[in-house]
A and B are shown apart, each in its own frame.
Chain A
Amino acid sequence: MLDTLLPILIFTALALAVIGAVRRIRLWRQGRPSRVNLLQGLMALPRRYLVDLHHVVGRDKMISNTHVATAGGFVAAAVLMTLVHGLGIAKPLLGGLLLLASTSMFVGSLFVARRRLNPPARLSKGPWMRLPKSLMAFSVGVFLITLPTVGLLPEGLLEGGSSWLLALVLAGVVAWGLGEMFFGMTWGGPMKHAFAGALHLAFHRRAERFSTKKGGTGRSTGLKALNLEDEAAPLGVEKPADFTWNQLLGFDACVQCGRCEAVCPAFAAGQPLNPKKLIQDMVVGFAGGSDAGYTGSPYPGKPVGEHQGAPNTPIVAPVVMKEGKALVDAETLWSCTTCRACVEECPMMIEHVDAIVDMRRHLTLERGKTPNKGAEVLDNLIATDNPGGFDPGSRLNWAADLNLPLMADLKQVDVLLWLGDGAFDMRNQRTLRALVKVLRAAEVDFAALGAEERDSGDVARRLGDEATFQTLAKRNIATLDQYRFLQIVTCDPHSFHVLGNEYGELGGHYQVRHHSTFIAELYEAGRLTFAPWKGGSVTYHDPCYLGRYNGEYEAPRRVLKALGIQVAEMERSGFRSRCCGGGGGAPITDIPGERRIPDMRMNDVQQSGAELVAVGCPQCTAMLEGVVDASAEVRDIAELVADALVERPADDVSGVSRRTVAATTAEEVAL
């Protein structure tokens, strides 16, 4: 009886899966076009899955091994089962392998079940709670029906008239397993993540973020530029169908593991953002419906079930409506600090920040609804080239007594010192003065743009004002084009990121270094000598735009080590560093929460026992120094270095010439 029933079951499930797949693909295709090399993507899929994805999943060894056993077992079992039971190729070898695969899957599903016994808050419940049972049903069912095939059980056992009940039960178990694993995969069950996830990896919008055999860095963090020349192109994302198709596909890949939720600073602060819920809302948006089916943690302060959407209705309600809401509230989008912690943690390689900025672009460029101080900051950027509305001519006031060399006079130097908007901030001016002292001590041939410099456009871009960003960027590029320099050095990781990663698309290609990287190089070349550290214990706060955005975790630590400081690491440091709350225009849009993000970060500092926290970013300095009753002092790396500088011994100077470090294009110019 099973011999006739099984092929019917298997091929029905497969057929339904194919129908579901077509339906799902049509949902994704509602999105706007995006050029992806489909074949190349599919070819790269195995490597992206086995190397890049497992690099992220492997951070939790338990889950990683569980997944290998379960998913590997399932894929093998599904293929073999189709051959053995579907097509009736009952070779003992195939049957044996099938038993092995289903056993592996069963062992894996035991671990999945164990995790579901007392699931952490970040995991979604609902259908996900039945998944381990379905996995077991599939693996046990397949195992049992395969036993007769390999001859471990007599062939006739399930054939006899008395055992028809047993056969029926077995068929039922197999049907349940097939339903979850084949049918559910393409019809929106928990297994959807496997189907959508595989295609998402293959057709990812940022193919360059994956490593390559040749050893590519696999980092792609710059936002994609809007084409402002084309007046018909939408300015950002108004409705779910305005995303590109592979973005929609990416949302569908979400496995609801909640790793993003666990690291999101806005969520932890009680602001109305949860990256996992946001991605699920996008899925609700392009599939149509309400968020009532969502079973994870809600946006803090916003009950589930009140929002709904459709592919072609606005994501954010156009006018404040008393009753009924759209898919997402604007304050959810404005809570994000663009720290990329969610993207870094996401095992499915989903790009949360891209999606948020896309939606912000619509709110700012089409609706003029940048909250709180947003409009004022953008107006200032347009009228004065800096967010504070200061006189552009006063950008160098802090250096009035430093006789700072200017590009306009020198035309050609080794190092262009990019000041950033911290030049207007009295706290950051101390950092800048320290940095100038260090550069002078190392006899670096440098100059600043001075009043010619403009805001890099970072804040404008994160606030969604792509037009102002591009205007600022193009004018900065035009200014930089007039001069010759080997590299740009800046103490602002935001400028660093924008100049290095986002100007390229607009025609500006520069070698940019963060001051910590540059100081580390100077020290290693023997051009700086430090007095031994006499202070207390020190911890280091990784700025998001230096670490996660640009992968620079080591250089600041090398500098601190050179100073004789042993860094007492915080629990969340390196790629897991918690944001200070200052990125993405979050201090400007200032969405209220229950706690402040910098307060939480200062608690991290306190727990490390450090008396001083070294930072490398004007935003982080401002945010952390704004913490009331802080337990630790906040100092920029440049300040620590400047304080520790000692005159180099005379013999050292002749030994290490500055020419050995950076090839000079210019002869020394007298100041």
Chain B
Amino acid sequence: MKQSLTLGKVTKFMGLGFLSSFKDLFTGKLEKEDYKAFLRKVIVPIASVLLFIGLWHLGAKSLYNVEAEFRIEKALNEQGQAAADEMAACIASGDISCQPNTLPSPSQVWASFQSLLKDHALISADKAAFIEKTAALNEKRVAEGKDAIVYTGRPSFVDQIFRSLKTVFAGFFLALLIAVPLGIFIGLSPTLKSAFNWFIQIFKPVSPVVWYLLVFMIVKTLLIDSSEDSSFSISFIAVGLCSMWATLVNTSMGVSSVDKDYINVAKVLKLGNFQKVFKVVLPSSLPLIFTGLKITLSVAWMVLIAIELLAQSPGLGLFVWEEFQNGANDSNAKIIVAMFVIGIIGFLLDRLMLAIQNWVSFEKTDAI
């Protein structure tokens, strides 16, 4: 009983309250009056997901047919009836060489997902074997003062997810470190506010691509002597600069619009400046700061894909781009897999921020 209670609390805290309804269903705890709520919270989302998959399946099928007919017609017009028959037979047989290249169906995407996981298992095994094989040699090289040999094989899909997460969190923390303190200073001082206002207004709407190019120009020169790959630094700095504006604006707004009553309390109690900022101003603007941070993290995750693609930094963005360039038979399906993975991770990141916000802030926010 106690165990399940904590589980329910945790899921609710994370904004994943709907999960506990499932648990109630399986443990048979559902009361009659909960039936309607259960219908709304569990059945309706499942039904809408199934409907979505169904529509997707039908849409993919009709696109497939359009493409197939076009190919057969083209063969007929260019090479005659025999070629057309051959093409039709080839498509029907499922031969890879003549499959129409269009929106993949849900089952194809699922198959690609599994093949990506298999691929990951394969690469991991390969990597483990490599590390084992080179362990003794590396020890010797390190003892001699040389660099250890590292695995330079192709990263798997899962590796790329983690690399993307690393980039997005590095960018997010960069944004946090710049935007929160700066926002506090801007919010506290009208002079700084007018000094920075034009700066914020002009740079806020700049596109991620341009930020990337700007960071590229600077970092490339700064790291000119370094032989290391600068793509990671460039991409995380660009992500951070792109996404920090929401936090900057929200923090300065939160700090400058603290309830006058609280400021009066601080004055009557004669709090020092330091105390006033840390005991009154910051706690009262935490909800707004966190709203900013939440937007920052979701913007960071969104622009990450574009920036990784430009920076050639390994990750989901590069994965999508390479699959698109690759044009293999299952490339489209892999792109859709990446799309879902990106979406789901974005959703989980948002919930993570919500959980942290509810944990540190006095105002409880409901999940949207």
Q: Are A and B bound to each other?
A: no
Using a CB–CB cutoff of 8 Å, the interface residues on chain A facing chain B are none
